[in-house]
Amino acid sequence: MGERFRAKLSAHPDYALSMIDDRLYGSFVEHMARCVYTGIYEPGHPSADEMGFRTDVLALARGLNLPIVRYPGGNFVSGYRWEDGIGPKELRPRRAELAWQAIETNQIGTDEFMAWCARAGAKPMLAVNLGTRGLEAAANLVEYTNFPKGTRYSDLRAANGHPEPYGVKYWCLGNEMDGPWQIARKTAEEYARIAEETAKAMKWVDPTIELVACGSSAYGMDTMGRWEATVLERCYEHVEYISAHAYYGKEGDDAASYLSVGEEASRYIEAVVAACDYARAIKRGTKRIMVSFDEWNVTNRQRVPETEKWAEVRSIGEAVYTREDAVAAGGVLISFLKHADRVKIACQAQLVNLLGLIMTEPGDAAWRQTIYHPFALTSRYGRGESIRTAIVSPKLVTKRLGEVDAIDAACVKSAGELTLFLINRDPGNEALVEADLRGFGPKRAIGCVSLSGEPDDVNDAAREAVAPVETGAAKVDSGTLTLAMPPASWAMVRIETAEGSARAD
Sequence-distant (6+) residues with CB within 8 A of 1 are: none
Instruction: Calculate the CA dihedral of residues 86, 91, 96, 101 and round it to 10 degrees.
Output: 60
> 251 in helix, strand or coil?
coil
Please say whether the beta carbons of 487 and 428 come within 8 A.
yes
> 21 in helix, strand or coil?
coil
Sequence-distant (6+) residues with CB within 8 A of 14 are: 439
| Burial (CB count within 10 angstroms: exposed 0-12, middle 13-18, buried 19+), residue 100 | buried
d(CA 119, CA 141): 22
Cis-peptide, bond into residue 362, ω within 30° of zero: no
Which of 321, 326, 332, 336 shows the shortest CA–CA distance to 260?
Answer: 332
Residue 308 bears catalytic tag: no
Give the pairing of strands 68-71 and 26-28.
Answer: parallel
| 484, β-bridge pairs | 432
Consecutive H or E run containing 116: helix 110-120
Please say whether the beta carbons of 299 and 320 come within 8 A.
no
Which of 403, 382, 481, 400 shows the shortest CA–CA distance to 438?
Answer: 481
User: Does the CA dihedral 232-81-317-52 come out positive or negative?
Assistant: positive
Q: Of 104, 176, 240, 324, which is the active-site residue?
A: 176
**Number of alpha carbons in the 13 Å side-chain half-sphere of residue 71:** 27
Please say whether the beta carbons of 174 and 127 come within 8 A.
yes
DSSP state of 25: G
Residue 32, phi then psi, degrees to nearest 5: -145, 135
Residue 189 bears catalytic tag: no
Which of 38, 2, 18 shows the shortest CA–CA distance to 410?
Answer: 18
Q: Of 295, 324, 464, 496, which is the active-site residue?
A: 295
| Burial (CB count within 10 angstroms: exposed 0-12, middle 13-18, buried 19+), residue 495 | buried
d(CA 374, CA 381): 10
Cis-peptide, bond into residue 350, ω within 30° of zero: yes
Q: CA 461, 465, 53 angle in degrees (round to 5)?
A: 30
d(CA 439, CA 135): 53
Which residues have a catalytic role annotated?
176, 295
